[in-house]
Structure 1
Amino acid sequence: FNPFNPNETFISSFKDGLLEFNEFEPTILYDQNNSGLESLVLPNNPDFVGIRISASEFDANGLLWLMNSRVDRALKSYNPSTGSWQGYSFSDLIENPLSDEVGFFDMEIDRNGTKWIGSYSNGLIAYNENIPNEPLRNMNAADQNIQPFTRFTALAIDDRNQLWIGTTFGLRVLFNTTGFYSDPTPSLSQIIILEDGIPKELLEGQIITDIKVDGSNNKWIGTVDSGIFYFSSDGQNTIYHFTTESSPLPSNTINDISIDSNNGIVYIATTRGLLAFNAGGSEPQESLEEAFVYPNPVRPEYDLLGSNNLNDINKGIKVSGLTENVNIKITDVEGNLVAEAQSRINFRSSSNNYNFAIDGGTAIWNGKNMVNQVVASGVYLILISDIDSFETKVLKVMIVR
């Protein structure tokens, strides 16, 4: 989907090129005859046509970047506004594109404009056309003490511009994407957690199929046979682990994950069907102008929560439309502090949430005060302050017990 034109969609194919849709109607098929796309060339069959388009991503300037497998200029860019194409050679890395690289799994573009590409045979590839001397680099599995023949299958850039990498042998993170080109020996890191007091590598040996980052900077990670995991932003806490045994998930093989940033609904594609899960949270907004509280009023029959488990998004009082870094105070009409939370400190997966937590653009309150008692009937003020811009907003919510 084109983020700058919601009516425009591009669908890539394994053999026939790139199909453009406008307002859900197919309008043009880009191939080797009408675009910068190329077909692979089989020496014994010159008439063969195979335009293999795999990973694709829009950048911040509205350019569509995509991988054109098994050709010399494997990276392509397309400007939908001008109709212009550009190709970028990978010959310094992939000498024979027909035999040295079967294809590419995923692509992510970071804040610096670097295109990160997960490949089948050449590890993690980075390309930045703005780096004058060495725009193309890669990191092989062997260089990173990862099992031989590891495929780099899934990539995700998080809110800290860190690259989360799924492979056929587990999870890795490139923490310093900004310094990648200036570092002669960049390295990928494991996430080490404590399990029953014993250090352990997170998702060790798992075949990872997809990674998505939500509005809270938490990570959804799909696997080939262990279902789907939902981790805190640093990977230290497992918020959810869904399998066919513990949830309505139709299969433990996850093909794809997509998140609706407006409402936090996670769509999970498996080999046996699609599942939607309301995880809560949302993408932060640019301003507090549209911030609102719901339900309002809170009627007696509504279940606030009754506990400190803020992960049940179907309960509790929600404040949505928040910016990225806010402090929220809830007071009664006399000005007594009832609850308080701050972005990046009081999130749902943290032990610091204490009755009130913020996940991205949404906060959830279980209706309890600072001494852990459910508040009485009345009107409560929600005082929101953006810590970075100093923008403020005041909301009111009525609770009827």
Structure 2
Amino acid sequence: LLEWKGPDQVRHFGEGLPTGSPLIGTFGLGNNRVEVTDVAATSEGKVWVVNRHLLPGSSGLFILDPATTTWQVIPWVPHLQELERVALDDNGYAWVTVSRKTDPSGTGPAIGIYAVDPAITQSNPPRLFTSATGLPDNQIYELAKDRRGYMWAATIKGVAVFSDPSGPFLSPAGFTLPVVRRGEGTGFPALFSEAVRTLAVDGADRKWFGTDNGLWLFSPDADEALMHFTTANSPLPSNRIVDVKVNDKTGEVWVATDAGVVAYRGSATVTEGEPHCTAVFPNPVRPDFQGTVGISGLANNALVKITDVAGHLVYATTATGGTVAWNLTMPDGQRVRSGIYLVLSSDADGKNGCVSKVAVLSK
């Protein structure tokens, strides 16, 4: 594990280094190979560390406090030495996946997902989720928390979500499979026939799923496929997606494939803190511009209306996160005339109001 604060400001944590480090070598104590497969930081600045090794009976899950260089060892339960990914929920619990192959021969069965309370009491020991508690399969590739605090799992047979507000320890509830209600795949669990190897959540709480057959964008509940990108209809260098991440400030979606990396200019951002008056780009809009106008800096999921200077409504929508894309058309589908247009926005309660202007030049 490396803590990096800049050039010449690096701390290295290994097996017994510095003194007190609980990290364990891959093949047991006394070797120089130490695998850290994932980390996640809490709002207090502590770091969950996943240390995968082959020493049964010894935990591979720790919490590091960088300020005091002290460690908390999560007590061992079966397979807690062979973990892979970690994600934190709004309750402060960690969700960790057991490696898809769990013995040295590589033929062991997949195990599932543990939910872990850092307090670890007898009343709530780590809880194991498997196909018996709602997962479509025990082979898990990635975990992510969405904007509502729900935990999503990408598996070799589609996706699943844990949405019980009482949490993983106070209820017998398990994962559920989102069922497509509209469009392609209606009536079936989302991507149930696909190996979903990665997932990400954008500013509008929509779900991006990376598969061996391209990149998918789904609605917040994964009940409708909104877009499907492949090498045939996009600049993707390969249909095999290995990772996807969203830049909440810009809306960009970064996609790693097995043949290179590409970025998609998404339309959903997250406004952090108090929203300021919106930014409009491009502004002014030139006569030859054929794209969409981006309006950012809105209150998250803001109500947006665009009018001409006489007050006639031209366009109305709800922001995807903190962003709106306007295609410069009126309700009848015609491009707007040259002039100054007002962008009126507020949050769902009518607060954080803002008025911005955009100049449009038409031929």
Could you say which TM-score interval applies, normalised by the shorter chain? 0.7 to 0.9
Tell me, yes or no, if the aligned pair for 1:119 and 1:153 is still in contact at 8 Å. Answer: no
Q: String of CA shifts for 1:150-199, please: whole Å, max 9, x gaps.
A: 3122111101111111112221111215432111x222111212567852
Tell me, yes or no, if the aligned pair for 2:135 and 2:175 is still in contact at 8 Å. Answer: no
Q: How many angstroms apart in 2 are the aligned matches of 1:42 and 1:196? A: 47
Q: How many angstroms apart in 2 are the aligned matches of 1:32 and 1:283? A: 39
TM-score by length of 1: 0.79
What's the secondary structure of 2:188's corresponding residue?
strand
**Counterpart residue number, 1:14:** none
Q: How many angstroms apart in 2 are the aligned matches of 1:79 and 1:115? A: 16
**Aligned amino acid, residue 73 of structure 2:** G
Tell me, yes or no, if the aligned pair for 1:166 and 1:210 is still in contact at 8 Å. Answer: yes
Q: String of CA shifts for 1:223-263, please: whole Å, max 9, x gaps.
A: 2x212211121212222222233333222222211222221
Tell me, yes or no, if the aligned pair for 1:253 and 1:271 is still in contact at 8 Å. Answer: yes
Change (3 A) 1:182 1:276: same
TM-score by length of 2: 0.86
**Counterpart residue number, 1:66:** 49
Shift of 1:360: 1.2
What pairs up with 1:2-401 in 2 under 5 angstroms?
Answer: 18-23=1-6, 27-33=10-16, 34=18, 35-40=20-25, 47-70=30-53, 72-91=58-77, 94=78, 100=79, 103-120=82-99, 121-130=110-119, 132=121, 133-144=123-134, 146-147=136-137, 150-176=138-164, 178-183=166-171, 185-194=172-181, 199-223=187-211, 225-303=212-290, 315-342=291-318, 358-388=319-349, 390-401=351-362
Shift of 1:22: 2.1
Change (3 A) 1:327 1:247: closer
**Counterpart residue number, 2:105:** none
Shift of 1:47: 3.4
**Aligned amino acid, residue 360 of structure 2:** I
**Aligned amino acid, residue 90 of structure 1:** W
Tell me, yes or no, if the aligned pair for 1:36 and 1:87 is still in contact at 8 Å. Answer: no
Change (3 A) 1:192 1:42: closer
| Aligned residues with identical type, % of pairs | 29
Change (3 A) 1:89 1:40: farther
What's the secondary structure of 2:141's corresponding residue?
strand
> Which consecutive unaligned segments of at least 5 residues does structure 1 have?
1-17, 95-99, 304-314, 343-357
Shift of 1:114: 1.2
Change (3 A) 1:145 1:362: closer
What's the secondary structure of 2:15's corresponding residue?
coil
**Aligned amino acid, residue 141 of structure 1:** S
Q: String of CA shifts for 1:65-95, please: whole Å, max 9, x gaps.
A: 111223523221122233222211133xx1x
Q: How many angstroms apart in 1 are the aligned matches of 2:343 and 2:186? A: 42
Q: How many angstroms apart in 2 are the aligned matches of 1:300 and 1:25? A: 51
Change (3 A) 1:294 1:143: closer
Q: How many angstroms apart in 2 are the aligned matches of 1:153 and 1:182? A: 26
RMSD of aligned residue pairs (Cα, Å): 2.4
Alignment: residue pair count:
345
Q: How many angstroms apart in 2 are the aligned matches of 1:318 and 1:174? A: 33
Tell me, yes or no, if the aligned pair for 1:118 and 1:152 is still in contact at 8 Å. Answer: yes
Q: How many angstroms apart in 2 are the aligned matches of 1:53 and 1:118? A: 14
What's the secondary structure of 2:168's corresponding residue?
coil
What's the secondary structure of 1:20's corresponding residue?
strand
Change (3 A) 1:198 1:299: closer
**Aligned amino acid, residue 76 of structure 1:** F
**Aligned amino acid, residue 76 of structure 2:** F
Q: Which moved more, 1:33-42 or 1:232-241?
A: 33-42
What's the secondary structure of 1:276's corresponding residue?
strand
What's the secondary structure of 1:359's corresponding residue?
coil
What's the secondary structure of 1:193's corresponding residue?
coil
Q: How many angstroms apart in 2 are the aligned matches of 1:49 and 1:57? A: 24
